[in-house]
Amino acid sequence: MHPEAVKEYSLDGPVSPVCALREDEAEPFEAAAWPTSAPITVTRIENGARADCVDHVVEEVPVALVYNGISHAVMLASPEKLEELALGFSLSEGILAHPAELYDLEIRAGDQGIEVHMEIASRRFMALKERRRSLAGRTGCGLCGVDSLSAVARTCAPVVRGAPVSLAAISAALAALPSLQPLRAATGAVHAAAWSNAAGRIKFLCEDVGRHNALDKLIGALARGGIVLQDGFLLVSSRASYEMVQKAAGVGIGCMVALSAPTALAVRLAHSAGLTLAGFAREGRLVAYSHGAFITPGAEWSERSGHA
């Protein structure tokens, strides 16, 4: 056992950016070595005029998640908040049941990408080996590498619901969202996942080129912060796909609001898991696809029939 590492990854306090590096191992990860965007000279053409200027494009870096020395998943991700990404992925994929089962985490940067090395509880590592899965994550698909149809549908326990969420709170969070996305403002090419309290104040926000990565980063941040998931709602800048709902329900999130549409499979999962799922969210309006009774309506709110 590693009591010091368990303490660092408990829900009782913050976690240092790099944990328990030994002197004989790789150098600690430095964010400056992997910038999140790159300046590019572009030609803008508008109204018959041409102009050369500098724009910024988002970086995506191969990130390998390594458990007890075995590489399990490789994904393309924005190279920030990788501790949160690793922890959130581990929780949302059911590799870990609790943050305390992550004993140690080390980030090693190389010429071809970044490796996040984690030491996890032996019982969890044995369960991981038994799954016989080799995931190769990509920005557009959360199921890449799943080796059977039965591996797609993990059972989600019904979420424990808190107080209803008001449309006013959702509208307040939507209004604040753009100002809290610096990488999107610079590049226009990333997704965001945010956690808002019941009053509509965004408390956590993570950005990434992949919507699944952004959500995993957020889940990791919430776990490390000890946030009670029944007391607020999740806001995502993307569509609500099945795997996004699965990740949210799997960690106990009770309300998910998306700026775009859900899929039918996502709606069915949200309904069975007791998760309120809303889409097409704009200030003052949205469409509730499941358990809409947990959103307090305003005058402009409407619910799509047949799914509540």
Strand partners, 236: 193, 258
Please give the positions annotated as active site.
Answer: 141
Other beta carbons within 10 Å of 202: 20
Report the distance separating Cα 253 and Cα 295, nearest Å. Answer: 14
106: closest CA among 86, 129, 126? 86
Which DSSP symbol is given to 164? P
Strand partners, 165: 295
What is the three-class DSSP state of 278? strand
Other beta carbons within 10 Å of 297: 15
Who contacts 54 (Cβ-Cβ below 8 Å, separation ≥6)? 39, 40, 41, 42
> The tokens 């430095």 sit on which residue?
30
Angle at 79 between CA 7 and CA 254, to 5 degrees: 60
96: left (phi over 0), alpha (psi -120 to 50) or beta: beta
Task: Kindly write down the DSSP assignment for every residue of 9-39, as one continuous string.
Answer: TSTTS---SS----TTSPPPP-GGGS-SEEE
300 token code pair: 């402009």
